[in-house]
Structure 1
Amino acid sequence: MKNIKFTDLDLSPAVLKAIEDMGFENPSEIQAESIPTVLDGFDMIGQAQTGTGKTCAFGAPIISKVDPNNKHVQAIILTPTRELAIQIYEELKRLSKHTKIRSIPIYGGQPMDKQISELKRGVSIVVGTPGRVLDHIKRKTLKLSHANFLVLDEADEMLNMGFIDDIETIINSTNEERQTLLFSATMPKQIQKLAEKYLKPDTKHIQILKKSLTVSKIEQFYYEIQNNARLETLCRILDADAPDSAIIFCRTKKGVDELVSSIQAKGFVIEGMHGDMKQTQRMSTLRKFKSGNLNFLAATDVAARGIDVENITHVINYDLPQDTESYVHRIGRTGRANKSGTALSLVTRKEISKLRQIEKEIKTKITKKQVPTLKDIMEAKSQNVISSIEDTLKAEDSYTKFIPLIENLSKKYSLESISAALLKDIFDREVSMDYEDNNLKVESSVRLFISVGRIDGINVKQLLEFIDNTSNVNSNFIGSVDILDKFSFVDVVDSKVQTILQNTSGKKYNGRRVNIEIAKGRSR
């Protein structure tokens, strides 16, 4: 496979010319295996990470087989997010530049009338999110009875977002003789069932192993933390390491919003991206991040799908992901184009076993690091400040106009005192938090007794949501959770105990009044 070229893959001359214009000669592994399979007419399951060239893997052969004189929609490509739909559309446009084939993206947040007008003009390929595609099918503005190709891209994420019913409705609207191409980074049982139900018996399964990530130049580290020190740990890391560009992953949309608000207040240039944000806001944020005008991007896993930025130096798992596949997918955002990258994870003691499982599955050691001390931060900042001052001193014309001010001050203070005062002002602006101690200070926690347990049908996730919804205390302030048959115990940081006692105790869960009190003899 290593020596194969695009010209060996029997693609149409127009597509080959477009690929040549893009500067590519050798296909990636997923492209080399998928393109002949699609051209031969087989249904296909492709397992590969984002950034491996999946769009060209299905786009190049589809464009080679589409008839530009046929005015019906001949290919429908479903994707979980608007950003990924736009990215795929732009790639298809480049691949079809020497043909008369038209593609359009359709997604929520864009005027329906404009999309209807584009569809009426006649298009060969539609790229869209399931909800908006289904809207057009119901309006009869999109007919898929002549669609010979159906692509499900990032199928696992579409199912995670609850699109399974929409997807099945769309599949049933297509030509029964269609060729179906399913791409998914992971293969959970739902995906397997979907494939068994809708793909042909001779379907080809192409799996690109994660070796391209595990042997890449990504350095992987973790910090063992207490949950209530998560924010300060992140601030210390950002102050000490000073990443040029980083994606910070949170588990939930609310977590993204809270982190962005907290970190912006510390002076960092950061914005968030998740599915509840308006399309214009998400695209604006992505443009700023890609152009380098935004240092940090906080995002959920789903929102980050389709982000392809080469110069990301760090990926930070503010919340550890649920599974190994998601971890690999996240850290693959850095270390691209043969560049080095760093992946950092904040891990509580109860998550260490999950981290060990990730290490085992990716066959890579994730090294433990100590949370930066104030001394570490000051040393890192000192190097940057001194380097900046030396650069200024070398350019005499840039500072000589300030010499009279220093001469006046020197009549009252020593030059050493003046310099130290100026440096203090610089460091006060440079360091994000007023760190009270050299080492990370962790707030003590209190163990609470809660009068609901397994017999009430509650699990850890539901209990955390119940506390959050009633007292607005999220899981960042909660440590260990033990669910027993008739009651539960929860470790909560000291500063949030009274908030939970006052707001959550007495509220009802599944019709039953919940009593909460400080557990006897247990505090941490």
Structure 2
Amino acid sequence: YAQYHTLQILLQRSTMTFNEFNFKDTLNQAINDAGFKEPSPVQRDSIPLILEGKDIISQAQTGTGKTAAFGLPIIQMMSGNKGVEALVIVPTRELAMQVSDELFRFGKTSGFKTATVYGGTPYNRQIDRINQANIIVATPGRLQDLLKSKRITLSPKFVVLDEADEMLDMGFLDEIKNIFTFLPAERQTLMFSATMPKQIKVLAEQILNNPKSVTITKKERTNTDITQKFYVVADYERDDALLRLIDYKNPNKCIIFCRMKKEVDRLSSYMTSQGFKVAALHGDMEQKQREHTIRSFKQGLVEIFIATDVAARGLDVNDVSHVFNYHMPFDSESYVHRIGRTGRAGNKGEAITLVSPNELRTIKRIEKDVGATLISEVIPTRQEVQSRKDNDLLMKIVETKVTPSAIDMVKTLQHDIDIVAIAHLLATIVQEKIDVKGKNIIGLGQEEIEKLIEKAKNQKGRDTGDRSRHGRGGSRGGNRGRSGNRSSRGGESRGNSRGESKGNRRGSSGRDRNRG
């Protein structure tokens, strides 16, 4: 009976709809306009508790629907009286804009206005918007400045801390504590955090009143709509590997994540020189430039977005087909946030990570932490990509409707050239545009990857010096042995000069020291 009862609960959860929350008609209209059908796990578990007036502490990742999880019930309970009724505090400007846009979308049918508050913009303009708003979405630094200088006073009924662990990592703990000294004691407080370090738990005890806990397990946190793959390459091959994969995957829109600001700038210049429409985002950019960059990517004016992790938590674009990790992220949580930029709104997505041989154990750690399997694949050869492009072109030609102007063009050419020669010439012109560049084989073969994975498993517990020697040895061994391992794929010699390899290693040393 207990098993049957549990099964019934699971079935009820899986078929739950937003209608069961009994939202007002205007809010249901906004939900329908947004295309929401069934609540996500964090929405399913959080909304009823918030509607009951409970403080909550929720552990959930970016991309799981947290904004709707707190935004919908808050808008349901807002009175609509003049003044700010809800305050949402987020770590970054990008996330502030994203959350504000989504809350505006939910609240506009009910007549609610939102204001976004962050640094880098004039105080007076923000204060004017705050005075007209019902909901404020703010970053800690600017909000504290406004409250301490008494430029504004707030008495919100609802206060939300979103991405609390990120605010802790960015050093905003003191600002958060100070902000709460300016807020009324009678309020409903909601905290959302991807992880729950000790300082977050202590903060929760200080600002929450008998909170209820909502925890989305790792299996629920990992989006099953995202296929996760990794490719093993030497450090000097990363650019070539990235170009080859983009050529092969032909993404609709993609994001490339780098660890450092200078890597974003360098890679952006390089990709632009290769003919791609590229936009870059990192912390050193001016606010207007950042907003313009994000807007261009959302509108499809650029096809490739290159960013540091600052964008992982604050970029909301539903049609990103691929995420590329140019380097491994620093931790598993960052990995989850990065890949969460694809596979959104019911779409399928693919996350691709480039790793060096000495990073294979990190892949296994990430798999364990996020509860997902990363598939090992080999980078396609130039011939494989060319064959795929040729097939796509042939299909496009077959499916293309002939236009009158094309007929006229062929008739004109037929005066001097026979029809077969015309066909050959036109095919040559078209094919020149899809020629695949670069060396034939990039990265390690599957057999060699499997050996290195097994070797990494057996090296557990060895010191850092051993790991370092293994990483360099794996790279050199890969250069010497790849030709034999992949000759069946039409391979050419894999050898690169030792000077090039050493030069690239020297050039890349220390790249982990500065985070973007």
Superposed pair shares fold, TM > 0.5: yes
Contact 1:241 1:380 in 2 (8 A): no
Tell me how far apart the structure 1 counterparts of residues 129 and 274 of structure 2 sit (CA, whole Å). 46
For the pair 1:170 / 2:179, whether they are aligned, the reply is yes
Aligned position for 2:441: 439
Give deviations 1:97-141, integer Å, cap 9, x for gaps: 35454431112343322112233x453321111222122123312
Residues 275 and 303 in structure 1, CA contact (< 8 A), matched pair in contact too: no
Question: What TM-score do the two structures reach when normalised by structure 2?
Answer: 0.76
TM-score by length of 1: 0.75
Instruction: Letter of the 1:430 partner, please give it.
Output: I
Q: Cα offset for 1:347?
A: 0.6
Work out whether 1:255 is the aligned partner of 2:263.
yes
Aligned to 1:152: 161
Please provide the CA RMSD for this pair. Answer: 3.4
Once the two structures are superposed, what CA deviation does each residue of 1:226-275 show, in whole Å capped at 9, x if it has no partner?
Answer: 11211111011112222222111112222222111111111112211223
Contact 1:260 / 1:270 at 8 angstroms: preserved in 2?
A: yes
Unaligned segments of structure 1, at least 5 residues: 443-458, 461-478, 481-490, 505-524
Aligned to 1:244: 252
Tell me if 1:344 matches 2:352: yes
Counterpart of 2:315 in 1: which secondary structure? coil
SS of 1:168's equivalent in the other structure is helix
Amino acid at match of 2:392: N
Distance 1:16 1:385 in 2: 45
Q: Could you tell me which residue of structure 2 aligns to residue 126 of structure 1?
A: 136
Q: Which residue of 1 aligns with 2:63?
A: 51
**Residues 122 and 498 (structure 1), Cα distance of their counterparts in 2 relative to 1, 3 Å cut:** closer
- Shift in Å, 1:180: 2.0
Q: What are the within-5 Å matches in structure 2 for residues 424-463 of structure 1?
A: 426-431=430-435, 433=437, 435=438, 437-440=439-442
Question: Residues of 2 paired with 1:498 and 1:195: CA distance?
Answer: 46
Change (3 A) 1:116 1:388: same
Q: Name the residue aligned to 1:142.
A: 152
Q: Which has the higher strand share?
A: 1
Compare the two structures and name the one with the higher helix fraction: 2
Residue pair 2:312, 2:337 contacting (<8 A) in 1 also: no
Cα shift at 1:396: 6.2
Kept after mapping to 1: 8 A contact 2:115/2:135:
yes
**Per-residue deviation, residues 491-515 of structure 1 (Å, max 9, x unmatched):** 99434689899xx9xxxxxxxxxxx
The alignment covers a number of residue pairs equal to 448
Q: Does 1:61 align with 2:73?
A: yes
Match status 1:286 vs 2:294: yes
Match for 1:170: what amino acid? I
How far apart, in 2, do the equivalents of 1:402 and 1:390 lie? 17
Give the whole-Å Cα distance in 2 for the aligned partners of 1:378 and 1:405.
29
Alignment of 1:19-34 (within 5 A): 19-20=31-32, 22=34, 24=36, 26-34=38-46
**Which runs of structure 2 are paired with 1:115-514 in the superposition (5 Å)?**
115-119=126-130, 121-144=131-154, 146-200=155-209, 202-212=210-220, 214=222, 216-391=224-399, 394-395=402-403, 397-398=405-406, 400-401=408-409, 404-405=412-413, 408=416, 426-431=430-435, 433=437, 435=438, 437-440=439-442, 493-495=501-503
* Unaligned residue ranges in structure 2 (runs of 5+): 1-12, 445-463, 466-474, 477-498, 511-516
Counterpart of 1:181 in structure 2: which amino acid? L
Deviation, 1:49, is 2.6
Does structure 2 retain, via aligned residues, the 8 Å contact 1:75–1:124?
A: yes
Q: Output the amino acid matched with 1:352.
A: L
Separation in structure 2 between the aligned mates of residue 287 and residue 440 of structure 1, nearest angstrom: 34
1:206: how far off? 0.4
Distance (Å, rounded) in 2 between the aligned partners of 1:425 and 1:109: 50
Q: How far 1:288 sits from its partner (Å)?
A: 3.0
CA distance in 2, matches of 1:213, 1:31: 13
Distance (whole Å) between structure 1 residues aligned to residue 81 and residue 401 of structure 2: 68
